[in-house]
């Protein structure tokens, strides 16, 4: 935005300027953090007055700040200094309202260079007066030009994609889920939280004394929750798998046991849950600032997948992306380079996967590779490299060369880019919810939501 000020000598009584602003939920979150005013009346997902509805009212001084935007940007503009401001509030503005902020010069003092302006904010949809008042400012003497695009940008750490997935999943019938060894507070608490959100109906499989101790530590009431007693982890995993085979449960959820034990029971040739594809893990990641969820696979199960395994990795990830609402997923198969290098096996595999998708051996999405990380997710980087592809710069699914790359990518996104990660294992008869011990409540909830949506897409609901 180019800003040009109006000096005191240029200003006349009757001059007026205005700016429009659509109030967003993120605006109110930024204001809460910057001002320190955390009144829940202003937070989009909070009931601030106990009436059962979320208000998302714009704080009065946020609306007032829209007046300062006109004064600082337009009239008088750059170099303006506030002396006084009065406000009278006539109505409330909410997230989603588009407001018009207007200032009008009513007086000017040649001795002090003080300009007096009438100020008002109205709502465009109904012309309602939100705020009125009077400003006194010292107008600038020197003509200035400024490009506000030089200002650093802000990214709000709000996980809007997971919020959307929760809203999509909560109306579905709860997914009956065998929770294996929820014997410590986080794994038990995550399952119970998902139950409160009507995402799952948990069957707790494990040692009752340890489950009850975990419940006591978080103050949870297990009345009405089914517990299937099993003394050790191996037996608990096998009993949970048996519940699936018997049609008594529709999903598995990892609790406080080693992943290997759960997968061993799942992969048992006679009593397991094999379904024809390799088991593969998919992270569904909500990265702040990214316009869509980002899927990363495989970062948890297949250590050094061969081409045949990568076909299943890609197909499972495409199927999951479609389940969460990405109808035509764009899959970037990663390597260190974007051209085929015979000395770099990952680049050869990527090219083969791309050609297999082109020939219909992988279906449901667009697959391109090899792509380096930058030109997979950044359109400008793809254009700089001269890559003309519907996937390059727009990838919604990233397929990594091996578990090292996938694990590092997922954890970098989580711990440096502040992403939330939901984890699911696909390729078995039912979705397997696989959370890390370090995962927070949102990650656990989102994993259950993704499992419920995938189950519903597969025709299980």
What pLDDT is attached to residue 14? 97
* Whether residue 2 has pLDDT greater than 80: no
Using alpha carbons, list the distances in angstroms from residue 122 to 21, 53, 60, 115, 186.
11, 24, 13, 22, 48
Q: What percent of the chain has pLDDT over 70?
A: 99
pLDDT tens, position by position, 405-460: 999 999 999 999 999 999 999 999 999 999 877 778 888 999 999 999 999 998 65
Instruction: Encode pLDDT of 211-258 as tens digits.
Output: 999 999 999 999 999 999 998 999 999 999 999 999 999 999 999 999
Quote the pLDDT of residue 460.
53
CATH 2.40.50.140: does it fit domain 276-427? no
pLDDT given at position 154: 79
Give 228-232 contacts, CB < 8 A, sequence gap 24+: 228/178, 228/203, 228/204, 230/205, 230/206, 231/207, 232/207
| The pLDDT of residue 50 | 86
pLDDT number for residue 461: 42
356 has a pLDDT exceeding 50: yes
| Backbone region of residue 233 per phi and psi (left: phi > 0; alpha: psi in -120 to 50; beta: other values) | alpha
Domain ranges, ordered by start, for the chain: 2-150, 276-427
What does the alpha-carbon distance between residue 459 and residue 452 come to, in Å, rounded to a whole number?
11
Angle, helices 185-196/208-218, rounded to nearest 10 degrees:
70
Q: Which of 45-59, 67-81, 437-451 has the highest mean pLDDT?
A: 67-81
pLDDT at 49: 86
Any idea which fold 2-150 has?
A: Thiol Ester Dehydrase; Chain A (3.10.129)
Residue 72, token pair as written in the block: 């600082």
Residue 300 has pLDDT above 90, yes or no: yes
Q: Is there a common fold for 2-150 and 276-427?
A: no
pLDDT at residue 70, as a whole number: 96
Banded pLDDT at 74 (limits 50, 70, 90)? very high
* Average pLDDT value for the chain: 93
Q: What pLDDT, on the 0 to 100 scale, is given for residue 92? A: 95
């Amino acid at each position: 935005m180019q800003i040009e000020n109006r000096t005191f000598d240029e200003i006349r009584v009757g001059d007026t300027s205005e700016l429009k602003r659509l109030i967003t939920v993120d605006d109110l979150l930024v204001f809460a953090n910057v001002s320190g005013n955390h009144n829940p009346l202003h937070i989009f997902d909070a009931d601030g007055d106990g009436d059962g509805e979320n208000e998302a009212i714009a704080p009065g001084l946020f609306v007032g700040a829209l007046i300062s935007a006109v004064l600082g940007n337009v009239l008088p503009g750059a170099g303006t200094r506030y002396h006084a401001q009065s406000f009278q509030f006539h109505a409330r503005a909410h997230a989603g309202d588009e407001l018009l902020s207007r200032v009008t010069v009513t007086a000017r003092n040649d001795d002090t260079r003080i300009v007096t302006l009438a100020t008002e904010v109205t709502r465009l949809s109904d012309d309602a007066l939100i705020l009125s008042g009077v400003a006194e400012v010292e107008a600038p003497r020197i003509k200035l030009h400024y490009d506000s695009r030089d200002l650093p940008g802000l990214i709000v750490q709000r996980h809007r994609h997971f919020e959307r997935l929760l809203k999509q999943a909560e109306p579905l019938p709860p997914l009956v889920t065998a929770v294996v060894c929820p014997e410590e507070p986080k794994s038990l608490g995550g399952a119970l939280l998902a139950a409160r959100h009507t995402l799952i109906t948990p069957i707790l499989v494990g040692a009752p004394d340890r489950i009850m101790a975990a419940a006591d530590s978080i103050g949870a009431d297990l009345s009405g929750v089914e517990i299937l007693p099993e003394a050790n982890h191996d037996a608990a995993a096998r009993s949970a798998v048996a519940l699936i085979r018997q049609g008594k449960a529709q999903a598995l959820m990892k609790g406080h046991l080693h992943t290997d034990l759960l997968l061993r029971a799942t992969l048992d040739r006679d009593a397991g849950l094999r379904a024809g594809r390799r088991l593969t893990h998919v992270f569904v990641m909500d990265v702040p600032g990214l316009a869509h969820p980002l899927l990363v696979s495989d970062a948890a199960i297949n250590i050094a997948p061969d081409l045949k395994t990568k076909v299943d990795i890609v197909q499972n990830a495409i199927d999951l992306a479609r389940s969460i609402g990405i109808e035509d997923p764009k899959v970037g198969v990663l390597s260190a380079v974007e051209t085929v290098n015979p000395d770099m096996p990952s680049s050869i595999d990527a090219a083969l996967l791309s050609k297999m998708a082109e020939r219909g051996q992988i279906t449901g999405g667009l697959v391109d590779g090899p792509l380096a990380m930058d030109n997979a997710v950044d359109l400008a980087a793809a254009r700089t490299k001269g890559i003309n592809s519907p996937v390059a710069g727009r990838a919604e699914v990233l397929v990594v060369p091996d578990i090292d790359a996938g694990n590092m990518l997922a954890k970098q996104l989580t711990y440096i880019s502040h992403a939330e990660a939901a984890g699911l294992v696909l390729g078995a008869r039912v979705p397997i919810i696989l959370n890390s011990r370090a995962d927070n409540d949102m990650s656990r909830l989102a994993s259950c939501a993704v499992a419920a949506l995938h189950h519903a897409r597969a025709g299980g609901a």
